[in-house]
Amino acid sequence: MIPLQFKKYLILLFLFSNLIFSQKKNKFNIIGNRYIDTKTYIESLEKLNEITFAKVEKNLTKLLNDRGFYNFKLNEIKTDSLKLPNKIEYNIFLNEGEASFLTKINVEAETKDDSLKTKKILLSLLDRPFIKKELESSISNILSYYENNGYPFAKVKVKSIIFDNTKGQNEVQIFLKLLKNNLTGIDEIKITGNNKTNDKVILNNLNLKRGEVYSQKKIDEISSRLNRLRFFNNIKEPKYYLSSKNKGVLEIELEERNTNSFDGLIGYVPSRNNNDGHLTGFIKINLRNLFGTGRAVSINWKQEDKLSQEMFLKYLEPYLFNYPLNLNFEFFQRRQDSSFVKRIIGGSLEFLADKNISGSLILESETIIPSVDVENIFQSSSFNTGLKIKLDYRDNFYFPKSGVLFETEYKFKKKKINPDKTLPNYIGTNLEYHNYELDFSLYYSLFTRQVAAVGLHAKEILGDYFDASDFYRLGGTNTLRGFRENQFLGNRILWSNIEYRFLLSPTSFIFSFYDIGYFLIKADKFNEVERKSNINTGFGLGISLNTAMGILSVSYAFTKGTSLTSGLLHIGIRNDF
């Protein structure tokens, strides 16, 4: 006797097998093909929802025309019912004919030079099977050439296409006419909607000048160039037309956004265990596009605990003397508990090679002031010089869905120690250091509203002697989530951030993340420091929102061995320039 459970299994298997067989595809046999393989024919025919002579003929005519065969003939379709239900065998009898080759191109133009330029673009089509899509693509290339050289109203007219087989082979001759129309330029640029931003700031970033010839490529870049300023919410598609005086007018309509933000959080930790109370928190002030000039100021202050404090000031002077040069001034100061104060004053001159690539020259003065009772940290002053290269191909500065960001930086540091205490014999008063930094971020849209973001980062300092003021810091919101801010020190740090984002809107998303970080402190036999290194990981969930204060990112992170309630909450706000 068959068990009940097994009977149910057999019934389901029977129903499932019937479903499979009922969905089997029809069988096609292609008879007469010489140039195009059978598989290509079958894949095309399987797309048809109904097999009739007219539909098969239309389908295969397009298939062959797209490959340069214009003398195709469908002779007959024979059918044969197979033993399997709902399955029919079709025998397709056809004659592909011979391919038609393009042997002559004639271009009628206003000048001989225009005729030669047009023929040069079309030259790759000669002595090959004539395919209409390739001709259309070449005509599009011709129009693009003239659109980018002052002729936005240029047209290419196909006068005739002649198929000729009198010489025993299928030949095609094409006769075109180029209508350039008049040379036009950008005589006037009208900008509307910029109630605050000066026209000069916008024009500097457009790579356009009044009086230059029309270029469609430059027009197409307007939105992406202005979006990088992050001064505007909406940039409408630019319009170009000829005025009543036959002057070329470019019209740009904008909608400005709030470019200033103030954010802060101040707390008070009360006194306990004979320790005085103290303030903690942060203040961030970002003033971008000051008085509509494109200038920017950023002020950041952070009190991590009673003894550790950090301050960072930055000023941007864009397009220095109307050249593609950005001048940055920076002031950084960090008081590290009761060990030392680190102060950096400097800046950089950034050359904007184009909208995606820039290079910077860096000059800095650095001072270390140790506490009186701290050993192995000496008062010093350094002069730092460096270079930075940046390649930014992201489609959006704050919320990229695709693209790459690559930054690399090198600094040479010449340090002079001004000892306020006796130096060990193994330490000289003049030291040299080499700093290397690399940042790489990749963004890729996997599915609708889903983006994968991968970041790889590395920093290393090379030199003969290190103290705590020289080390890089790892841990926290911007590097390794799940750990305290600046929890780890090292003369070499590496970390990677992997995020899977689901977009709630164009300017907000939720995400899961996995961070991995590595730090290394080299052995120092003189200071009796052993080599120390470790790899740490963090993971969790978060949300990023566009707010009036800036981009608010909140994440809850765990590390190996932590419970659901013992994770770390990270909050960060981004509104930089």
pLDDT of residue 252: 95
**Of 281, 283, 228, residue with least CA distance to 261:** 283
**Beta strand segments in 219-353, E:** 232-235, 239-242, 248-256, 260-269, 278-290, 295-303, 309-317, 325-336, 340-352
Which residues lie below 8 Å from residue 561, measured CB to CB, with a gap of 6+?
Answer: none
* Terminal-residue alpha carbon distance, the chain: 79
Domains of the chain and any CATH numbers? 21-95 (3.10.20.310), 101-179 (3.10.20.310), 188-256 (3.10.20.310), 471-577 (no CATH)
User: Cβ of 211: how many Cβ atoms within 10 Å?
Assistant: 10
Residue 491: both structure tokens together = 């003369």
> Alpha helix locations (H) across 413-456?
none
Eight-class DSSP state of 427 = -
C-alpha 40/C-alpha 59 separation (Å) is 12
C-alpha 452/C-alpha 449 separation (Å) is 10
**What are 509-538's pLDDT values in tens digits?**
999 999 999 999 987 766 667 889 999 999
Eight-class DSSP state of 145 = H
Residues in the chain where the model's pLDDT stays below 50 = 1-2, 4-23
Q: Is 376 helix (H, G, I), strand (E, B) or coil?
A: coil
φ/ψ (deg, to 5) at 170: -80, 110
